C-alpha cells in the first residue's frame, strides 16, 4: 500500500529470532490441539447474543411492545451493551479476518460496524494499519490522538486544564462515539485520501459511507422518533445514553491496554528510524489485564489479552487465553517485557494515575517506579 506520509522504520532484524520462535510455538500449539486459528461455535453464539442485545430492544420499541418511557429508556441502555458487544466481540475479529476461515463471513460480519454507525473500511485503516503498526506513536496512532483537553501522550502539549483530566476524562470517554458516528468517518476519509491510504474508487467509497450513515440514523433514531409513543426527548436521551454506555466501555477497555504507566511512547529519530523491532515495540506499548477473569474475557472479546492480540492479530480472540503462557514464556526468554495487571480495576486505577501524571508534569517512568507499581507484574 503506497503511503504519502513517511513511515517510521522498525529495526525488525533485532526481533527475527523472537518472531520465529513465537510463530513456531504458536503453530505447534494449534497442531497439537488439532484446531485452527479462527473462530468456533462460541463466536456464533456470541455474535447472535450481541446482535440480539442491540436489535431486539430496538424492534420492541418500534413495534409497540414497549411503550412505557422508563422501559423505553432501559431499552436504549441494553442497546448500548449490545453495541459495545458488536464492536468488541464481532466486528473486531471479523475485520481482522479471523472471525471465520471463510472470507465472505468475515466481510459481512465486519460490516456489523456499519449497522451501528461506523464504517468498516475507515476502521480497518485506522486500527489494523495505523494503530497495530505504529502503536502509541504520536501523530500516527489515532487512538492517542485525543481532543485538546485530554493528554494521552507525553509528547503532546500540556495545558493547565490537563491537571484535572484524571477527574473529568471519564465523562468524555462516554461521549467518544458520538463524534465517531457523526463526523469522524468523513474526517478520516479526507485524511486517508491525502495520505494515499485509500484504494479503489474513492467516490464510491464516500457514497457508501454516506449511505450507511443514512441507514443508521433512519433505523436507530428516525424510526423510534416516529413510531414510539413517548416524548421525543426520551428517544434523544436514550440515544445519547446508548452512546455513553458504548463510548465508556470501549474507551476504558482500550485505554487500559495502551495508556498506562508501563507504556512507552517511542518517536523516530532524525532518520525516521525507531529504536526497536515491531514485536518489541508492541510489547513496550501494550499491557494485559484481568487474565484470570474468564467472564470479562468472554464479554470484551478477549481484549484484556492485548499483548497477544497485538503480536498475533491473525488469530481469533477465543484462543488468546491459551496462547498467553506461550507468549509470556517466549518474551521472558528473550528478555522482553510482558506487562499484566491482575484485575480490571487495578488497570483502571493505573490508567487514572497516568492521566494525573500526564496532567501535572512531563512524565517519565523510571525502572524503580515500574518495580514499585502495585499489582503489576513486569518481566
Distance (Å, whole) CA 15 – CA 4 = 27
Grid cell digits, residue 14:
533485532
CB 132 within 8 A of CB 313: yes
Backbone angles phi, psi at 320, to 5 degrees: -60, -40
Q: State the pLDDT at residue 379.
A: 32
Distance (Å, whole) CA 261 – CA 370 = 8
- 51, 54, 78, 97, 224 from 67: Cα distances, Å: 22, 17, 16, 40, 11
pTM over 0.85: yes
Sign of the dihedral through C-alpha 291, 294, 295, 299: positive
Q: State the pLDDT at residue 199.
A: 87
Distance (Å, whole) CA 368 – CA 379 = 13
Give exposure, 358-370, as e/b (b: 16+ Cβ within 10 Å): bbeeebebeeeee
Block means of pLDDT (10 residues each) for the chain, length 379 residues? 67 92 97 94 94 97 95 97 96 96 95 95 94 93 90 91 95 94 94 90 95 96 96 96 97 95 92 92 96 96 96 96 97 96 95 94 46 38
Q: Which residues pair with 341 in a beta bridge?
A: 289, 376
CB 355 within 8 A of CB 169: yes
Q: Where along the chain do its domains lie?
A: 12-265+276-377
Q: What radius of gyration, in Å, describes the C-alpha atoms of the chain?
A: 21
User: What's the residue count for the chain?
Assistant: 379
- 30, 75, 214, 234, 235 from 239: Cα distances, Å: 43, 10, 16, 9, 6
Helix/strand/coil (H, E, C) string of 1-68? Answer: CCCCCCCCECCHHHHHHHHHHHHHHHHHHHHHHCCCCCCCHHHHHHHHHHHHHHHHHHHHHHCCCCCC
3-state secondary structure of 289: strand
Distance (Å, whole) CA 317 – CA 309 = 7
Strand order in the sheet with 340-341: 288-289, 340-341, 376-377
Specify burial of residue 191 (Cβ count, 10 A radius: 0-12, 13-18, 19+): middle
Distance (Å, whole) CA 118 – CA 189 = 12
Distance (Å, whole) CA 190 – CA 171 = 28
Q: Which residues pair with 340 in a beta bridge?
A: 288, 377
Q: Which residues pair with 9 in a beta bridge?
A: 273
Q: State the pLDDT at residue 373.
A: 41
Q: Which of 175, 156, 301, 147 is nearest to 239 (CA)?
A: 175
CB 138 within 8 A of CB 266: no
Grid cell digits, residue 215:
441507514
Amino acid at each position: 500500500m503506497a503511503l504519502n506520509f513517511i513511515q517510521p522504520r522498525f529495526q525488525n532484524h533485532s526481533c527475527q529470532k523472537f518472531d520465529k520462535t513465537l510463530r513456531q510455538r504458536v503453530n505447534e500449539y494449534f497442531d497439537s490441539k488439532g484446531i485452527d486459528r479462527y473462530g468456533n461455535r462460541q463466536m456464533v453464539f456470541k455474535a447472535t447474543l450481541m446482535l440480539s442485545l442491540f436489535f431486539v430492544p430496538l424492534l420492541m420499541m418500534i413495534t409497540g411492545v414497549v411503550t412505557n418511557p422508563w422501559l423505553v429508556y432501559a431499552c436504549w441502555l441494553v442497546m448500548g451493551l449490545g453495541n459495545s458487544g458488536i464492536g468488541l466481540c464481532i466486528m473486531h475479529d471479523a475485520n481482522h479476518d479471523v472471525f471465520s476461515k471463510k472470507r465472505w463471513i468475515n466481510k459481512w460480519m465486519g460490516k456489523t460496524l456499519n449497522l451501528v454507525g461506523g464504517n468498516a473500511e475507515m476502521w480497518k485503516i485506522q486500527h489494523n494499519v495505523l494503530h497495530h503498526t505504529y502503536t502509541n506513536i504520536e501523530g500516527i496512532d489515532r487512538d492517542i490522538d485525543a481532543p485538546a483537553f485530554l493528554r494521552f501522550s507525553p509528547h503532546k502539549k500540556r495545558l493547565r486544564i490537563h491537571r484535572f483530566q484524571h477527574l473529568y476524562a471519564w465523562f468524555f470517554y462516554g461521549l467518544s462515539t458520538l463524534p465517531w458516528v457523526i463526523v469522524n468517518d468523513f474526517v478520516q476519509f479526507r485524511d486517508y485520501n491525502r495520505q494515499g491510504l485509500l484504494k479503489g474508487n474513492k467516490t464510491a467509497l464516500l457514497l457508501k459511507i454516506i449511505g450507511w450513515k443514512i441507514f443508521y440514523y433512519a433505523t436507530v433514531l428516525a424510526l423510534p422518533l416516529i413510531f414510539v409513543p413517548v416524548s421525543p426527548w426520551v428517544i434523544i436521551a436514550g440515544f445519547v445514553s446508548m452512546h455513553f454506555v458504548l463510548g465508556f466501555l470501549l474507551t476504558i477497555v482500550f485505554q487500559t491496554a495502551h495508556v498506562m504507566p508501563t507504556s512507552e511512547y517511542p518517536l523516530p529519530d532524525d532518520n525516521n528510524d525507531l529504536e526497536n523491532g515491531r514485536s518489541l515495540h508492541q510489547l513496550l506499548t501494550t499491557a494485559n489485564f484481568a487474565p484470570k477473569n474468564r467472564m470479562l474475557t468472554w464479554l470484551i472479546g478477549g481484549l484484556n489479552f492485548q499483548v497477544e492480540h497485538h503480536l498475533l492479530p491473525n488469530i481469533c480472540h477465543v484462543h488468546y487465553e491459551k496462547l498467553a503462557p506461550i507468549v509470556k514464556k517466549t518474551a521472558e526468554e528473550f528478555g522482553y517485557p510482558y506487562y499484566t495487571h491482575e484485575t480490571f480495576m487495578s488497570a483502571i486505577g493505573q490508567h487514572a494515575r497516568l492521566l494525573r501524571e500526564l496532567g501535572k508534569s512531563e512524565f517519565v517512568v523510571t525502572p524503580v517506579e515500574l518495580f514499585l507499581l502495585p499489582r503489576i507484574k513486569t518481566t
